[in-house]
Structure 1
Amino acid sequence: MRIGAIEAGGTKFVCGVGDEHGNIVDRVSFPTERPEPTLERVIDYFRDKKVEAIGIGTFGPIDIDPSSPTYGHVTTTPKPGWSGFDFLGTMKRAFDVPFGWDTDVNAAAYGEAVWGAAKGLDSCVYYTFGTGVGVGIFAEGRLVHGLLHPEGGHVLTRRHPDDTYEGFCPYHGDCLEGMAAGPAIERRWGVKGSELPPDHPAWPMEAFYIGQALASTIVLLSPKKVILGGGVMHQKQLFPMIREEVKRNLNGYVAHDAILKGIDDYIVPPGLGDNAGLCGALALGLAALRVQS
């Protein structure tokens, strides 16, 4: 099979072609501009690829309700030109193939469930910590949508006792995204996180916020695997700190061996690495093809 995949990020688009086993055989990436020139490049890429379906995992918020008149649109976003844009419709007008359509983080969660760290499990949660914070939820064998779709980056947090940073989220200030996304690290400490040493006090503070969020996720959703991706999580020293924060916050209440004895295998980086989003989009396209068949 030849399946198209689009990982549509706020900073860059990644397009690729893969097969039913999750193998990416070709890819291209380019900066995210206004919608028309960006999708023109996407359409040009796929024009000669002869794909049987295309999966799209995109930044949001987006409308993923098939019964909605604005299904397939980007909804409210500060990205110039994208608010209200008919992303999916534009692609459907260019290609007469089945389309999968979901958020970028739901796509990543799905890819991890099909081919990655949560393979063989019927539930997982995927967090990305980068320029923003996003959450994808795969539960009881399906992706969670609901009223809109999960926006777990905007849960409220307790403030670290030594933290005076006000938070950068324009809606909530000191929500999880406002305190723990990449821009929060840079604005709090004056340099990008990638320039801070592993023993810098930024990292225990970051783990404090992420650990809170994961503990809440565990008691609310009871996922069988928690996967942490995104640029911030390239700081591998964060993982043991986060696991300890989760155990501290749960305080023995969730008395399961996965947490009490095996937390190193419970809170993990993506099994698909930086391909989680693109492979997830590939899985969405494959699922759409199977539904139509």
Structure 2
Amino acid sequence: MRVAAIEGGGTKFLVAVGSPCSITNHYTSIATAPPAETLPKLLSYLRAEHKKEAFHAIGIGSFGPLGIAPERSDYGVIGPTTKPDWSYFSYPEALAEFNLPLVITTDVNAAAIAESTLGSARDSQRIIYVTVGTGIGGGIVISNQLNQGKFHPEVGHMKIAVNPDDPMPEGLCTFHGNCLEGLASGPAIEQRWGVNLSDLNPNHPGNDLQANYLAQMCMNLLLTITPDSIILGGGVMQTPFLLSKVRLALREMMNHYMPQFSSEDAVEKLIKAPAFAPFSGLVGAALLAQRVI
């Protein structure tokens, strides 16, 4: 049965109609401009698809902060954000004309559902998906269900130890300075080195610095959430060799504290790349929509 899926990212929106398994075959990418520019293009695509052949639910994975509790009045409403004109944008209002069931969550939550259901963590009971890009966010899935409280996890704002060799120890998070996002997000990397991480020489110290920060994050998540799988996605993680550097740094940090994670093989099974990158959020949105039909 056809569903519509929307992944609303900080740089672009992806929208498609189909089944979860085919949702990435035909999709449209729309730049994330202010809503007055982005929304008409999104609605035009959905109207044309619905006229061609009806879809029966809409799943949305969006950047946040985002209201994710269906019983609350702010469900599907974006909170205060630096993205121009998106603060207090309401997905339910924007999509009301279709009069269909809506499932709305964060883009990382949607990606976590995709990877735990069909992707690289499909055999795991407890997974954490982390995206490392313009921002850093995380989604937790336990027994194929999103695990969260009254708000979604804010992994990117955990405090970590600043590396003494960091030339930008103050970080750039406007709220916390040198939290994880302030030190290890894409904009932090660019401000520190003047280029993307993938543009640096493989032997540049920036690679090891980034691996150190992400390994700290993985250690914190491993010892608190006790996941079977940690999936690292997002644009920064497309840097060659970064995943292997994070794995190595984690093993060194753990220092045999938990012997089951001392071997290279064990850490490779724990920390994985997403199977559906860069479409994990779109696939997850489709899966969530399918659940409410």
TM-score, normalised to structure 2's length? 0.93
Number of positions where the alignment pairs a residue of Structure 1 with one of Structure 2: 288
Determine which of 279, 282, 285 is the counterpart of 2:286: 282
CA contact (8 A) 1:22 1:115 kept: no
Q: Is 1:271 matched with 2:275?
A: yes
Between 55-64 and 95-104, the greater mean CA deviation after superposition? 95-104
Give identity over the alignment, percent: 39
Q: Is 1:185 matched with 2:185?
A: no
Q: Is 1:47 matched with 2:47?
A: yes
Matches within 5 A, 1:138-157: 138-157=141-160
1:252 alignment partner in structure 2? 256
1:71 alignment partner in structure 2? 75
SS of 2:128's equivalent?
A: strand
Determine which of 209, 220, 224 is the counterpart of 1:216: 220
CA RMSD of aligned residues (A): 1.6
1:159 alignment partner in structure 2? 162
Matches within 5 A, 1:167-206: 167-206=171-210
Q: Deviations over 1:206-261 (max 9, x none)?
A: 00000000000001111111111111111131112111221222222233369664
2:140 alignment partner in structure 1? 137
Distance in 2, matches of 1:104 and 1:16, equals: 15
- In structure 1, stretches of 5+ residues that fail to align are none
Matches within 5 A, 1:13-32: 13-32=13-32
CA contact (8 A) 1:130 1:232 kept: yes
Between 175-184 and 47-56, the greater mean CA deviation after superposition? 47-56
SS of 2:228's equivalent?
A: coil
- C-alpha spacing 1:243/1:42, structure 2 compared with 1 (3 Å): same
Distance in 2, matches of 1:193 and 1:58, equals: 25
Question: Residue type matched to 1:42 in 2?
Answer: L
Shift, 1:276, TM fit: 0.9
After TM superposition, which residue ranges in structure 1, 4 or more long, deviate above 6 angstroms? none
Shift, 1:20, TM fit: 4.2
Distance in 2, matches of 1:277 and 1:258, equals: 32
CA contact (8 A) 2:197 2:207 kept: no
Question: Residue type matched to 1:48 in 2?
Answer: A
TM-score, normalised to structure 1's length? 0.93
SS of 1:283's equivalent?
A: helix
Between 153-162 and 115-124, the greater mean CA deviation after superposition? 115-124
